[in-house]
C-alpha cells in the first residue's frame, strides 16, 4: 500500500474556555469546599494537511477569519479566539506555497465553529462530511432550531459557496480517501455526526485523528470522562471505546482534538512535518 508522503500540523492559535466545558464537573464544589473556582484554559486550534500521491487533503478548516464580526456575542465572550502571526488557515497554506484552490479533498470531522470556519474557501475540493452532521446542521438552521456551536454565518457561507459534497452515511464505517488516508465514521457523540481520519506514514507510523470525539487524553481515560459539550452521551462513550479498540488493533497513535499538552509536543508546519 502506498502511504501519505507528508503530514503537516497547522497551528491556528487558541480558544479560551472554562475547563468544565472540556471536562464535565471539573473541580466541582464539595460540602467542605462549597466555593471552588472555575479554571479558564487555552485550547489549541489545529488542522492537518496531507501531501498524497492523489494531491492535497485537508482535515478540518479552523475558525472564520472574520470571527470578531460573525460569531455571536456570547460566544466571543465565553470562548474568545486568538491567533498568532500567519495563524489563519489561508496564511498557513501560503507558508507552504499553497492556496485553497490547491486542495483536492477536505475531510470535516464535524461542523462546529472552530472546525468549519474556512470551509467555504474550498470550492475546488470534494468535501467529506458525516451525513447526519450536514443534514441536521442545515435542518436546524432553516427551522431556526438550536444549533449548539454551529454558527449561522458559517452555514450561510458554505451554502453560498456551492461546495461539492460527499456525505458519509450510517452504513459506512471505513471510507478510503487516498492511499494511506481512511475516514472512520464515528457517528453521533460530541456532535450529530463525527468523522475521524486514519493516517499511515512510512517513517512516523499510523495516527488516528479523532478531533472532538475526544478533546484530550483526560476525556479518553480510560475510563472515559465526558466533556461539558456533548450532544449524545451514550454515543460519546461508544465512540471512545471504538477509538480505543481500533487504535489497539491497528497500532495507531491518537491525536486529540484540543489537547494543549499533546499539541505542544507535535511538529509544526511550515518547517516540520511527519513523513
Q: Which residues bind Zn ion (CB under 5 A)?
A: 112, 212
* Residue with Cβ nearer Zn ion (126 or 229): 229
Beta bridge partners of 208: 198, 254
**23 Ramachandran zone, left/alpha/beta (phi>0; psi -120 to 50):** beta
Question: Judged by CB, which is closer to Zn ion: 4, or 214?
Answer: 214
CB 167 within 8 A of CB 129: yes
Q: Which is nearer to Zn ion, 4 or 58 (CB)?
A: 58
Nearer to Zn ion, 127 or 149 (CB): 149
Residue 12 vs 112, nearer CB to Zn ion:
112
Least distance between Zn ion and beta carbon 11 (Å): 18
Neighbours of 38 (CB within 10 A): 11
Angle at 89 between CA 269 and CA 262, to 5 degrees: 50
Report the nearest approach of Zn ion to the CB of residue 70 (Å).
17
CB of 205 to Zn ion, least distance (A): 26
Quote the least distance from Cβ 21 to Zn ion, whole Å. Answer: 10
CB of 97 to Zn ion, least distance (A): 30
Angle between helices 131-142 and 152-160 (to 10 degrees): 110
Amino acid at each position: 500500500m502506498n502511504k501519505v508522503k507528508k503530514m503537516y500540523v497547522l497551528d491556528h492559535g487558541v480558544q479560551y474556555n472554562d475547563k468544565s466545558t472540556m471536562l464535565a464537573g471539573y473541580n466541582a464544589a464539595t460540602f467542605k469546599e462549597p466555593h471552588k473556582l472555575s479554571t479558564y484554559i487555552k485550547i489549541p486550534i489545529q488542522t492537518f494537511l496531507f501531501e498524497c500521491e492523489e494531491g492535497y487533503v485537508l482535515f478540518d478548516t479552523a475558525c472564520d477569519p472574520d470571527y470578531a464580526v460573525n460569531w455571536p456575542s456570547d460566544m466571543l465572550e465565553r470562548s474568545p479566539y486568538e491567533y498568532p502571526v500567519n495563524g489563519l488557515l489561508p496564511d498557513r497554506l501560503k507558508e507552504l506555497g499553497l492556496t485553497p484552490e490547491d486542495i483536492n479533498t477536505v475531510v470535516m470531522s464535524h461542523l462546529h465553529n472552530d472546525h468549519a470556519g474556512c470551509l467555504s474557501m474550498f470550492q475546488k475540493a470534494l468535501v467529506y462530511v458525516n451525513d447526519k452532521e450536514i443534514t441536521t446542521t442545515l435542518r436546524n438552521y432553516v427551522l431556526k432550531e438550536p444549533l449548539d456551536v454551529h454558527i449561522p454565518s458559517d452555514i450561510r457561507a458554505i451554502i453560498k459557496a456551492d461546495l461539492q459534497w460527499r456525505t458519509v452515511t450510517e452504513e459506512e464505517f471505513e471510507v478510503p480517501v487516498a492511499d494511506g488516508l481512511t475516514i472512520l465514521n464515528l457517528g453521533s457523540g460530541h456532535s450529530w455526526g463525527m468523522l475521524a481520519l486514519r493516517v499511515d506514514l512510512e517513517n512516523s507510523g499510523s495516527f488516528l485523528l479523532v478531533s472532538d470525539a475526544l478533546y484530550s487524553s483526560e476525556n479518553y481515560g480510560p475510563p472515559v470522562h465526558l466533556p461539558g459539550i456533548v450532544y449524545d452521551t451514550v454515543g460519546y462513550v461508544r465512540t471512545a471505546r471504538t477509538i480505543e479498540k481500533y487504535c489497539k488493533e491497528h497500532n495507531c497513535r491518537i491525536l486529540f482534538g484540543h489537547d494543549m499538552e499533546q499539541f505542544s509536543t507535535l511538529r509544526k508546519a511550515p518547517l516540520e512535518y511527519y513523513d
